[in-house]
Structure formats: structure tokens, C-alpha cells
Amino acid sequence: AQSVTQLGSHVSVSEGALVLLRCNYSSSVPPYLFWYVQYPNQGLQLLLKYTSAATLVKGINGFEAEFKKSETSFHLTKPSAHMSDAAEYFCAVSKNSGGSNYKLTFGKGTLLTVNP
């Protein structure tokens, strides 16, 4: 079975500071990994995904994540936070199955607050 743990339900940073949102996964097979962002009362928007190509994945809005198999982690980072980054972030895992598994397992989310 797959699972995702997001460490820290709430992270607060100052504008311009480094953003680090943590995600650890458990999967019996090589996984696909995703980060989504959700703004208040909206749907989820894909930030980036890891699909077993490069271990460092660049996404939209200046975010990136690094897949570390030895640590079973896929932490999301951004060098300099902007006020517009304030949102909830979800990590998700799927089996590396070329689409045949269909299901994503989501973490519980991390709410990012950016202080001026």
C-alpha cells in the first residue's frame, strides 16, 4: 500500500525566505510523486511531478522538488517566498504504472503562510 506523510500541517515563512515543505512516501514499487497547490475555495493545481526521469524536478512558480530514494522523500522548495505563495500544498503518490493504476494517495496537506 502507498502512503504519504507531510511533516508540518502549517508552515510560516517571511517574504523572501526559503520555503521548505516536507513529504515522505511509502511505496512498494517505484512511485510517481506529485505536488499540488490549492488556493482558498479552489481546486488543486499541479505544481510538479516526478516520473523517474531526473531526480530534481522543476515546476511552476519557481518551485522545485528533489526525489531522494534513500530517504523516501520528495520535499518541495522555493528559494524566495512571495506573498502569492500562501496556499495549501499537497503531496501525492501513485504507482509507477504508466497510468494503469489510476489512483493517487494524498498527504493531509501543509498550509503555507507568508508574512510581510
> Which residue ranges make up the site for another protein (CB under 8 A)?
9, 32, 34, 36, 41-46, 49, 51, 90, 94-99, 101-104, 106-109
The residue written with cell numbers 500541517 in the block is 9
Nearer to another protein, 99 or 116 (CB): 99
Nearer to another protein, 14 or 55 (CB): 55
Nearer to another protein, 14 or 97 (CB): 97
Nearer to another protein, 51 or 77 (CB): 51
CB of 73 to another protein, least distance (A): 18
Alpha-carbon distance 14 to 54, whole Å? 30
∠ Cα 83 107 41 (to 5°): 50
For residue 61, give Cα distances in angstroms to 22, 41, 48, 52, 64. Answer: 18, 20, 10, 22, 9
CB of 94 to another protein, least distance (A): 4
Q: Are 59 and 53 in contact (CB under 8 A)?
A: no
CB of 23 to another protein, least distance (A): 12
